Amino acid sequence: EGVIRDITERINAEDDFKKSEEKLRTLADFTYNWEYWLDPEGKMVYMSPSSERITGYRADEFMESSDLLIDTTHPDDLSSFKEHLLDENNLDGVLELDYRIVTRQNKVKWINHICQKVYGDDGRYLGRRVSNKDITDGKIAEEELRNSEERFRALFYKAPDAIIVQDYKGKILDANPAAGQLYQMENDKLTGKTIFEFVPKESRSEFKTDFSMWIEGKMDNKRSFILTTTSKSIPVEIHASRIRYSGNDALMFNIRDITAIIESENKLKEAKENAEQADMLKSVFLANMSHEIRTPMNAIIGFSEILSDEELSKREREEFIRYITQGSNTLMNLIEDIIDITKIEAGKIKINFTECNVSNLMDELYATFLKIKNRNGKKSMELRLNKPVSDKDFSISTDPNRIRQVLSNLLGNALKFTDEGYIELGFTLERENQVVFYVKDTGIGIPKEEQKLIFERFGQVEEAQDKERKGTGLGLAISKKLAELLGGNLTVESEKDVGSIFKLTLPVDLGAGKVEKKKIEIKVPEINWNNKVILIAEDSVLNYTYLEAILQRTNVKLLWAKDGKEAVDMCQENDDIDIVLMDIKMPVLDGLNAIKEIKKFRKDLPIIVQTAYAMPEDRERSFAAGSDEYLTKPLNATELFKTISKFIN
């Protein structure tokens, strides 16, 4: 029994299939893309020859080795590619995947992989059809673009300078965060506004001109001002460049805040000007110096010679002596000023804080300057004293000598530059922990522009200088420095032809000043030393004569040794000597060695050193040699009496 079936249809269908497959293959063979087909089990059914162009491997190699497809996959993309191969469920439609392969030539290529499930007419699943495209060039370009975009965004966003892009009408198109910070608003909010809104009114017209120049490319950097949203005007430097922005012409501003730069430029300029002025003042001073010294010297030498003329009348003699004294005082002042300023500048000046009775100090200064005023014959000018505190014990802790020095200088100046009206010395206690001493005058005043100069070394108002008023120009410089060393300051308010007021402001601890203190008072007048003997060791006749003139008044008996050796001998011969005034620089045996010798046999004999050497180390050396006290020349009579009294009363 047999069955005969007509299979014409099937044979024809197979034929048709073969034919159509051949057609498809022929078509696929010529595709530019790399094509392959996989059967439902994943077995390679077809590989297009173009695989060789893209992968370097021939189609037959792929057909033979089922692993080659996996082997050529880039290790980093392997897992995603495998996942894709195994993913049967998800293959309803078309699936796309970008992945990398490594070619036979070891080159990495980017592949755009499109995979499609294929079904027969009868709905049977036939496998996958894959079309791979080499997209390496596009990928590289894309990546480069992304990188460069990232780079430039970073530059724009992270730039410390404000960057603003605007069109040629000034409309802001973009602004970075630094711009937002500069203008004090969110950078995004700047977009859409015009740049001219942020220019201060007074610079706006200039800015508009600059803007046209920038558009024309005729200007690069420019200093200008910008206005922040809080209406603060800030100095800036703008660097403008013409750019293309989103296909249009635009201007890019790099704006830098130059507040700090301008500040340091100004400081530098000021320092330079100060240095130049100091240099100029010094040259002027040096040129004047020889004249300053010679003028009083001429008077001293000239009139001293004339004095020996016996024919002179008493009046003439007194007049000449006055000239000599004046000259000497001028010279002494000059020397003291120079020493003071040098010491201050070398940081060698010491401030000794002690209790200072303000009331007494004021009285003393007032009395001294009243005498000077009367001596100068300034009758139409009044000297006033203003003490707002009646408490006689009102004291502050400071260096009384330095305050006296500053106020004396101010009073001296006031006296020099005031002929009519009044000069007032006083102090105020307007604020807690602060005393303001002042010297006010109705004198010639100081023009505003000179008010800084007068506190500089050698600074003087030129037109105020005449023969009578010639000074060194150092007084105020010294006073200001002293005021600062005392923790305060010295200032001036003045108007030309109206007058001046100099204020010395000092910080004080007022509470501490009120503490009761024992008063130490030494009475100088009416000394009688008629039973005492003083030995003066002094090689200069002039100095001895001066000491003699002062001490004679006490009826003391004086002995004179002209050198150290003589002093030692006289001490040995005269047991009745009560005290020795010892000069240091002397011939034969100097003072210090003489002291050592004398102390060997008269340990308790008080010896006071009196010297013109006023260096701190001289003082130490004197005490080391055995001296009991130390005085510097020129000797002040009151001080001399006080010191001797300590030992012989």
Residues in contact with ligand ADP by the rule CB under 6 A: 409, 413-414, 417, 441, 443-446, 454, 459-461, 464, 471-477, 500
Which residue has the closest beta carbon to ligand ADP?
471
Q: Across 230-299, where does the E strand assignment appear?
A: 233-245, 248-257
Residue 502 CB, shortest distance to ligand ADP, in Å, is 7
Produce one character per residue of 129-168: b if its CB has 16 or more CB atoms within 10 Å, e if not. bbbbebebeebeeeeeeeeeeeeeeeebeeeebbbbbbbe
One-letter amino acid for residue 96 of the chain: E
Residue 73 is classified by DSSP as B
Min separation Cβ 563 and ligand ADP, Å: 40
Q: C-beta of 303: minimal distance to ligand ADP in Å? A: 24
| CB neighbour burial string for 190-225, b if at least 16 within 10 angstroms, e if fewer | beebebeebbeeeeeeebeebbeebbeeeeeeeebb
Which is nearer to ligand ADP, 475 or 591 (by Cβ)?
475
What CA–CA distance (Å, rounded) separates 551 from 533?
Answer: 11
Q: Is 533 exposed, middle or buried (0-12, 13-18, 19+ CB in 10 A)?
A: middle
When the beta carbons of 236 and 411 are compared against ligand ADP, the nearer one is 411
- The Cα 484–Cα 494 span in angstroms is 21
Least separation in angstroms between residue 460's CB and ligand ADP is: 3
Q: Indicate the residue among 199 and 478 with the shorter CB distance to ligand ADP.
A: 478
Q: How far apart are CA 355 and CA 227, in angstroms?
A: 55
Q: Which is nearer to ligand ADP, 115 or 454 (CB)?
A: 454
User: Quick one: 500 or 643, whose CB is closer to ligand ADP?
Assistant: 500
CA 409 to CA 437: how far, in whole Å? 13
Cβ 333 to ligand ADP shortest distance, Å: 8
444/568 with CB nearer ligand ADP: 444
- Of 615, 617, 622, nearest to 599 by C-alpha is 622
Judged by CB, which is closer to ligand ADP: 161, or 292?
292
Which C-beta is closer to ligand ADP: that of 173 or that of 492? 492
Find the shortest distance in angstroms from Cβ 475 to ligand ADP: 3
Query: Given the complex with ligand ADP, which of 41 and 466 has the nearer CB atom?
Result: 466
How far apart CA 440 and CA 444 sit, in angstroms, is 12
445 or 488, CB closer to ligand ADP? 445
In 3D, which of 217, 222, 170 has the Cα closest to residue 192?
Answer: 170
Q: Edge-to-edge strands of the sheet including 162-166?
A: 172-175, 162-166, 248-257, 233-245, 221-227
Closer CB to ligand ADP, 116 or 405, in the complex: 405
Alpha-carbon torsion angle 438, 439, 442, 445, nearest 10? -90
Write down the least CB distance from residue 334 to ligand ADP, Å. 9
With H, G, I as helix, E, B as strand and everything else as coil, classify residue 634: coil
The distance of closest approach from Cβ of residue 387 to ligand ADP in the complex, given in angstroms and rounded to an integer, is 21
**Nearest-approach distance from CB 262 to ligand ADP, in angstroms:** 32
57's tokens: 């491997």
The sign of the CA dihedral 460, 463, 465, 469 is: negative
Task: Using alpha carbons, select from 451, 576, 539 the residue that is nearest to residue 503.
Answer: 451
We find the least distance from the C-beta atom of residue 359 to ligand ADP, in angstroms, to be 24
**Whose structure tokens read 């048709």?**
16
**What minimum distance in Å lies between the beta carbon of 358 and ligand ADP?**
22
- Closer CB to ligand ADP, 59 or 476, in the complex: 476
Can you tell me whether residue 98 is helix, strand or coil? strand
- Nearer residue to ligand ADP within complex by CB, 235 or 421: 421
Residue 467 C-beta: closest distance to ligand ADP, Å: 13
* Beta carbon nearer to ligand ADP, 103 or 405: 405
Minimum CB–partner distance for residue 454 and ligand ADP (Å): 4
Length of the chain: 649
C-alpha 47/C-alpha 36 separation (Å) is 4
CA dist 8 and 353 (Å) reads 134
Beta-bridge mates of residue 47: 36
Token pair for residue 244? Answer: 């293309």
Least distance to ligand ADP, CB of residue 251, Å:
55
C-alpha torsion 402→405→411→412, nearest 10: -160
For 172, 208, 432, the CA distances from 169, given in Å and listed in that order, are: 9, 10, 61
Contacts of 428 (CB under 8 A, 6+ apart): 388, 435, 436, 438
Cα separation, 76 vs 555, whole angstroms = 119
Question: Can you point out the beta strands (E) in 451-573?
Answer: 489-495, 499-507, 533-537, 557-561
Rounded to a whole number of angstroms, the minimum distance from the CB of residue 278 to ligand ADP is: 14
Closer to ligand ADP by Cβ: residue 187 or 413: 413
CB-based contacts of 448, cutoff 8 Å, min separation 6: none
* Residue 524: CB minimum distance to ligand ADP, A: 31
Residue among 490 and 608 whose Cβ is closer to ligand ADP: 490
